[in-house]
Amino acid sequence: MVGAGLDDNRLGTIASLARNIILMAIIVQIIGAVLIFIRWYVVTPIWPGITLEQGVWQSMFTSISAFNNAGFEILPDGLVGGESLSGLTRDVPSLIIIGAMILIGSSSYATLSNLIEIRGHRFRGLLSKTILIGFGLLAALGVGAAITVIGISRDIEILEILGEVILTGTVGWAIIFYVLKFRKWALLSLDTKLVLIGIGLMLVIGLTSFLSLEWSNPNTIGNEPAVSKVTQGLFHTVNRTAGFSSVDYSQLHPANTSVTEGLMFVGGVSASTAGGIKVSTLMVIIIASFAIFSGKERTTIFGREIPRVNVQRAMAVAATATLALLVLVVSLFIVQPDLEFRTAIFEVISAFGTVGWSAGTTPHLNEAAQVVISIAMFTGRFGPITITLFMAGRERQDTIRYAGERIRIG
């Protein structure tokens, strides 16, 4: 399964990759826990009177949950306020740290490893790669933390805005400088290029949709300051694979609900902790569609050809996932006919993407409907990789080629 996810079936390579993935995951989660601890205990206590033990436990749990895209939290509602992370809507640094952990966890080891292979001398050692990632996070998030410290006990929104601008600029500058200076775009693998473009595309679509449709919605972010609105927009888009809640998703604009469903359906990157049909699957389908519309026989981009077998697998994963969603939605209505159509679709896609968001319907599902949702979660997590493994094991060269005959389409 690891080999299929990373497209490398060599036993020695798989064992080495598995070891590196585990070690890097542990170290990155420790870094995340330290950053959250600094924010929630050292800089600004997340609730009055929080003890050292509580701070350590909350930080560790939240970091692990965010990195693994689980979406679980154990914050006390009475002390923090609201369900999930709704009590942290104006805590910009916390949302950025948690969002960064979610994004790293949903990006896969292969993508991160390819990004930090520096031209001229590759940092093959796991420790070197982890140090690069760790110090990059510490440097970027440290700027935001410093601004937060300056703004303690000063209710001045401009300080928050300045902190977020500097933080965003630092992260953006670091990524751009790194890709252009140390790891030129042309040297990245085609898989990494498509993943970066796909993630960027979904971030733009999700952020634009969320801000444009929810900016004045008093039931979501309408009453929040500008910096909180932008932060929640970014967090909402990144959070499409995890399921932390910073707003009430039953109050989203209907159009935004549809966009969110699309983001959840796609999910994260192959061989990551996220669910969905995966970003690379979407990108291959888009590129193949453009090739078909252009009358090309081959699917090419960036001077590389995508093998036909990859295109076929992407089409099979997307088609099977769509059919599975249709069957699950129909099954949900069969066992509980009183559900609203919009919320039922949201619940099924959220379960299929292993996100965990709810539009308020989950507590009211009967036992049979809960079974359907459970099947949706299982299907979404193991369905795409199962299809890939099934197709990989059945590859063969046909010895007989039959006469062709055209079929009417459309």
Secondary structure of 71-118 as H, E, C letters: CCCCCCHHHHCCCCCHHHCCCHHHHHHHHHHHHHHCCCHHHHHHHCCC
Contact between 210 and 236 under an 8 Å Cβ cutoff? The reply is: yes
DSSP state of 404: P
The one-letter amino acid at 93:
P
Closest to 66 in 3D by CA, of 31, 41, 20, 40:
31
Of the candidates 149, 342, 158, 362, the residue with the CA atom closest to the CA atom of residue 253: 342
Rounded CA gap, 121 and 333, in Å? 57
pLDDT for the residue numbered 398:
66
Task: Say how many C-beta atoms besides its own lie within 10 A of residue 76's C-beta.
Answer: 13
pLDDT tens digits, the chain, 410 residues: what are they?
Answer: 455 555 555 445 566 767 777 888 888 899 889 989 988 888 888 888 888 999 999 999 999 998 988 888 888 866 666 666 777 877 888 888 888 888 888 887 777 777 666 444 444 444 445 445 544 554 555 455 444 444 444 444 444 544 554 455 455 555 555 555 555 666 778 888 888 888 888 888 988 899 889 888 888 888 888 878 888 888 888 888 888 887 888 888 889 999 999 999 998 888 777 778 889 899 999 999 999 888 888 888 888 888 888 888 888 889 989 999 999 999 999 999 988 888 889 999 998 888 888 887 888 889 999 999 999 988 887 766 666 666 555 566 667 777 777 777 76
The DSSP annotation for 262-314 comes to: HHHHH-S-TTSS--SS-HHHHHHHHHHHHHHHTT-SS-EETTEEPPHHHHHHH
Q: What is the pLDDT of residue 155?
A: 42
Q: Are the beta carbons of 353 and 265 closer than 8 angstroms?
A: yes
Residues 6+ apart with CB under 8 A from 343: 250, 359, 360, 361
The Cα–Cα gap between 199 and 66 comes to 17
Pairing of strands 300-301, 304-305: antiparallel
pTM beyond 0.85: no
Domain ranges of the chain: 2-266, 279-392
Contact indicator for 272, 199 with CB cutoff of 8 Å: no
CA distance 137 to 65: 18
Residue 327: name the closest of 380, 284, 279, 281 by CA: 380
Chain center to CA of 294: 31
The answer to whether residues 43 and 152 touch, using CB atoms and an 8 Å cutoff, is yes
Please give the CATH architecture assigned to the domain spanning 279-392.
Orthogonal Bundle (1.10)
> What pLDDT sits at residue 61?
93
d(CA 333, CA 252) in angstroms, rounded, equals 22
DSSP secondary structure of 25-85:
HHHHHHHHHHHHHIIIIIIS-SSTT--HHHHHHHHHHHHHHHHTT-------HHHH-SSTT
With vertex at residue 25, the alpha carbon angle to CA 386 and CA 196, rounded to the nearest 5 degrees, is 70
- Phi and psi angles of residue 304, each rounded to the nearest 5 degrees, phi first: -130, 150
CB 42 within 8 A of CB 56: no
